[in-house]
Amino acid sequence: MKVLILGATGLLGKSLVHEWKGDEVLALGSRDVDIRDAAKLSEVVARSRPDWIVLAAAYTDVDGCESQRELAFSVNRDGTVNVAEAARHVGARVIFLSSDYVFDGKKISPYEVHDERNPQSVYGHSKAEAEVKLLEVLPNCCIARTSWVFGVGGKCFPDTILRLAANRAALEVVNDQRGCPTYTVDLSRSIIRLCRESASGIVHVTNAGDCSWFEFAQEIVKRAGIATEVRPISTQQMPRPAPRPAYSVLSATSLHRYGIEMPGWKDALGRYLEERKG
């Protein structure tokens, strides 16, 4: 199998490159090809003729998207359409990384793949529109929705907490947003499995279990053996430019259909901390 990874220098992309064994992999970052450049992208895809394109390239600064709406849509929606068109031209399959932010967070039970999209942020809108457009161009594509991604080699929540905790006696973290932390290593391995299983449609791909950001931070500090106190606060007490879903736990039912079981997020956090040391 020949695989083209777009966004290979990002947090997930680096992990995908490291984890993908036994197939022919071409890994390209934004400096190699900008997915907004339809002509260059088409040329790259035509030349490499992959069986699968893993689209991990995105503008993921959720708060930045609020003030950079045009950039968010040009990368996350229009760039996705460019990839889909290039893939269709050579008969390649596409797996697209999407987000829990396509939902409004008003449910109190895990989101299923068929639940209605109702994004509340610019980032969420750009991803939701990308999903719709992608399915129009490539009905047999695979959309892998994930959430709260963390890993070694880039900015992520555990890295931020560890950095702040090293210099502070106490941290305040929101306790009224709930989701599923997802480790890039486990996410990468599941994406590889989905490609090999010729997956199609929407699949929710997260580590098992859920927590609040406060509970996540507590576990990070505890596992790292840091004495910093973590205090719960509300979203209202820590306003951000982009609204976040209060509840964005993704159901694993769609993933289990492919026989894929992901480890719990606490197990994943332990392995992340070990990897980070090395």
Contacts of 70 by beta carbon, 8 Å cutoff, 6+ apart? none
* Among 123, 183, 247, 272, the one annotated catalytic: 123
**Which amino acid would we find at residue 20?**
W
Note the Cα 76 to chain centre separation in Å.
12
- Give the closest residue to 63 by CA, choosing from 250, 239, 249, 247: 239
Contacts of 230 by beta carbon, 8 Å cutoff, 6+ apart? 170, 171, 172, 173, 214, 217, 218, 221
Map 106-164 to HEC letters.
CCCCCECCCCCCCCCCHHHHHHHHHHHHHHHHCCCCEEEEECCEECCCCCCHHHHHHHH
175: DSSP letter: S
249: DSSP letter: P
Whether the CB-CB separation of 127 and 96 falls below 8 Å is answered with: no
Residue 41: count of CB within 10 angstroms of its CB: 22
Going by their DSSP bridges, the two strands 182-183 and 93-99 should be labelled as unpaired
Would you call 123 a catalytic residue per the annotation? yes
Residues with catalytic roles: 123
